[in-house]
Amino acid sequence: MRSYFFKIGTFIYNLPKKIIGYPFSKLYFLKSLLTNDHQNHLEILYHSNNFLVVSKPYDMVINSDNPDLKHSLQAEVRKRFPNLVNPSLCHDFHFVHRLDYVTSGVICLALNKKAARAAANAFANRKVKKYYLALVHGHIQSPYIIIDKAIGMDIREKDGNHKICTIDSVYCEKPRESYTTLLVLERGFRDNKPATKVLLYPETGRRHQLRVHCAYIGHTIIGDYTYSEKQDIEPYRTFLHSFRLILKTSLEDLDVRTSDPFVTSNSRNCWRPTEFVRVLDENTFSDVGLLIRHSNNWNNRRLLKK
């Protein structure tokens, strides 16, 4: 059988043609197995009678109908908290929201029907705030950008990885308005190439919204194979992390955050900041709110510069 070489970090694997023909999501999973990228522990961020908040490792699915897929967040939580499993649910738990396979960070589970209903109402009434950290390619010169660009399904990818595209693509189907606020935190170099660390706040919650919007402004998230036109395969992960979740419900208010995974102390990040624009503190989060209030006319959104 003909084979191909597939580079993963500093290693080169000889893979059969049959595997190369698979969707890249399966190759990504193979990469994780070969390099043992997954974290071997589940970080618990918050636990009450109503909610469990954990930090999802990168390159991990939330749940799956595939019985052969043993490595999922559902499986990890089930192993850690077997007493919390709800046998009446298809996937054992009420997952309040979702994260992409490649995205790490804060994710919330409701532990009973009342909590699940309260969380759903919070999302419906816009009482939820989610903040993400990312390393993107290139140096973003503006201190902030407000991105107003509708996105929809790429009709070429319906049976593939569910890729999304912006409304100006001829392949865009059923676009929906989408808004993202981006604040620059640091500029520097990742593996000796220009890069920027940013804080991202999605005002809308579309599939792949942050990844599509970063690609749209010309600063693709580092390691994002799908939105780098299948070019960015060298990094050990996609540099997108769910950093903070604020969830205000009728039962209790949650404000949970993780540590910043994109730090210089982790040598795998290959990240060297050279310019510090903002500190990741409450003033920065307040600035996000100010920017949103100053541009809250949905019909007149545009790219803004200070």
User: Which are the catalytic amino acids?
Assistant: 100
Burial of residue 137, with CB atoms counted within 10 A of its CB: 0-12 exposed, 13-18 middle, 19 or more buried: buried
Dihedral Cα 133, 36, 225, 107, nearest 10 deg: -40
Per DSSP, the three-state class of 306 is coil
Conformation bin of residue 229: beta by default, left when phi > 0, alpha when psi is -120 to 50? left
Are the C-beta atoms of residues 3 and 17 closer than 8 Å to each other? yes
Are the C-beta atoms of residues 211 and 196 closer than 8 Å to each other? no
How many Cα neighbours within 13 Å face the side chain of 209?
25
What is the C-alpha separation between 34 and 51, in angstroms, rounded?
34
SS (H, E, C) 86-99: CCCCCCCCEECCCC
DSSP notation for 131-180 = EEEEEEES---SSEEEEE--EEEEGGGTTTT--EEETTSTTEEEEE--EE
* Short-list 272, 98, 105, 127, CA closest to 199: 105
Hey, what are 94's tokens?
């009420």
What is the C-alpha separation between 259 and 133, in angstroms, rounded?
10
What is the C-alpha separation between 244 and 183, in angstroms, rounded?
15
